[in-house]
Amino acid sequence: MPHYFGVDIGNSGLRVSELDVEQGRLGNTWRIVWQHPFQGDSDLGAAASLDDANWSSVARYRPADRAWLAELERLPCRDGQVKWLVSSVRRDALEVLLEYLHRQADTCVQVVDRSHVDLEVNVAQPEQVGIDRLLAASAAAQLSSSRPLLVIQAGSAVTVDLLTGHPRRLGTFEGGAIVPGVPMMLRLLGQAADQLPEIDADDLTDLPSLPGKNTAGAMTCGAASALVGGVQHLVARYRGNFQQSLPVILSGGDGMRIAGYIPEPVEVEPHLVQRGLLGLAMR
């Protein structure tokens, strides 16, 4: 039996998960974090931390910089064939990863696109939908039999997508809304306004207290509230158009931050994209 890894290359970093196709579950998951444009070189190249079987790099790497490949060398070695399923919304990091993987012995690589996902895509330009959104929707469709269904991915950007039924597929992806996440809002504020600071809020885990007592605090309060309020508004509109019991499945780094502000029924399911890759590996 080949050993499977699923890779999700996003705008804030890269996640690698072991895909246990025999047990139908995710194994260990590791993360590499990208450097943001305003961060200096002093943030690069620090050692990664190891926590049990999972590591998350404390260094931040430029996506096109091959230095982050050293982190992949820490993955557990496996005998026999290794198969990689790769989802990417970053062409620079994908190019670096593929160059690395194609040099490995007894390795098979599949870059996942929308043709691999068992969803009808009912939008104006299906080829432009991020593969991470489609994989998250396919995983949510396998977790819930309800249709329609809202799928929220809360990462660098927050997507609120609608899934409806389909007679022969997992469902129909109807599109949705994209909202900038808190770290993205704060970075954009700092870059766009001359006297506002550039704030790194990747580790913000809850809504900050009001009122903000300095500029950074006021910006953080505003960005976090805008995110929560925007998602609440979108969920309310969808439920007004369909039914008040329209279920929501939440995932992503900000999923827990948002979950408490959305009326039930809400389910938090970590790593939806990786679960979508697991579903493909099992098929």
pLDDT tens-place string over residues 177-219: 999 988 888 888 888 888 888 887 655 556 788 899 999 899 9
Contact 275, 139 (CB under 8 A): yes
100-140 pLDDT, tens digit each: 999 998 999 999 999 999 999 999 999 999 999 999 999 99
Per-residue confidence (pLDDT) for residue 5, from 0 to 100: 96
CA-to-CA dists, residue 113 to 1, 130, 273, angstroms: 24, 9, 13
Contact 158, 181 (CB under 8 A): yes
Q: Which residues pair with 14 in a beta bridge?
A: 9, 32
DSSP secondary structure code for residue 114 in this structure: G
| CA–CA gap between residue 215 and residue 227 (Å, rounded) | 18
For the chain, what's the residue count?
A: 283
Per-residue confidence (pLDDT) for residue 54, from 0 to 100: 54
Long-range CB contacts for residues 100-107, cutoff 8 Å, separation at least 24: 100/66, 100/69, 100/72, 106/80, 106/81, 106/82, 107/81, 107/82, 107/83
Per-residue confidence (pLDDT) for residue 184, from 0 to 100: 87
Structural element, H or E, at residue 138: helix 131-143
**Domains defined along the chain, listed by start:** 3-111 (3.30.420), 118-275 (3.30.420.40)
64-102 pLDDT, tens digit each: 999 999 999 888 876 789 999 999 999 999 999 999 999
What is the mean pLDDT of the segment spanning 242-262?
86
Per-residue confidence (pLDDT) for residue 35, from 0 to 100: 87
Q: Considering only CA atoms, which of 143, 165, 163, 164 is closest in space to residue 151? A: 163
What is the mean pLDDT of the segment spanning 59-64?
90
What is the mean pLDDT of the segment spanning 137-157?
94
**Which of 32-46, 47-61, 108-122 has the highest average model confidence (pLDDT)?**
108-122
Q: Residue for token digits 């194994």?
A: 27
Q: Residue for token digits 């790194």?
A: 200
CA-to-CA dists, residue 121 to 58, 77, 111, 118, angstroms: 37, 38, 19, 9
Q: How many CA atoms, within 13 angstroms, populate the side-chain half-sphere of residue 24?
A: 4
Quote the pTM value: 0.89
| CA–CA gap between residue 208 and residue 191 (Å, rounded) | 22
